[in-house]
Homo-oligomer: A and B are copies of this chain.
Amino acid sequence: MQTDSLLKRNGLSVTESRKKILQLFLEGSGALAHGDIEKKAGEKFDRVTVYRTLQTFVDKGIIHTIPSADNSIRYALCKDECSEGHHHDHHIHFECSICHTTYCLDDVVTPQINLPKGYVAGHVEVVVEGVCKNCK
């Protein structure tokens, strides 16, 4: 199973909740918020387990957070280059204003930004809001 190997590769024990939550990310196209996961997972897991599992996955570099302006952080699978402590996330994110799906556009690289004198750029986050291909 894809979930099992992904977990093992990251030194995590293979448990029901981790498999299920990882499965949700693998089968869906969009990013998921904490609430989405609770809903999709049904009543199977404790709310606390979802919090802890998401945090574990972020720590291990399996998923990453997508910034938002509405206090509801979404999470999405990292690509393979991500590893613990070193998250290489050079793609942009797209939020559909109609269906509210958030996508990782892995093929669109974050642009170079020219900062004013004195500022040193590290990581660049780009979130584009608009209409996705399904809602057009």
Residues of A within 8 A of B (CB): 65-71, 73, 92, 94, 97, 105, 107-108, 111-133, 136
Closest Cβ of chain B: how far from A127's Cβ, in Å?
Answer: 5
By beta carbon, the residue of chain B nearest A34 is B71
In the complex, the count of this chain's copies comes to: 2
Given the contacts A68-B67, A73-B69, A122 and B113 also touching, CB distance less than 8 Å:
no
For residue A115, which residues in chain B have a CB less than 8 angstroms away from its CB? 94, 105, 108, 128, 130
Closest Cβ of chain B: how far from A123's Cβ, in Å?
Answer: 5
Closest Cβ of chain B: how far from A19's Cβ, in Å?
Answer: 26
Closest Cβ of chain B: how far from A78's Cβ, in Å?
Answer: 14
In the bound complex, do residue B108 and residue A111 qualify as a contact, i.e. CB atoms below 8 Å apart? no
By beta carbon, the residue of chain B nearest A125 is B127
Quick one: which of B71, B92, B119, B127 contacts A94, CB cutoff 8 A?
B119
In the bound complex, do residue B108 and residue A114 qualify as a contact, i.e. CB atoms below 8 Å apart? yes
Quick one: which of B94, B117, B128, B136 contacts A133, CB cutoff 8 A?
B117
Quick one: which of B65, B73, B125 contacts A126, CB cutoff 8 A?
B125
Residue among A108, A122, A131 with max Cβ neighbours from chain B (10 Å): A122
In the bound complex, do residue B126 and residue A130 qualify as a contact, i.e. CB atoms below 8 Å apart? no
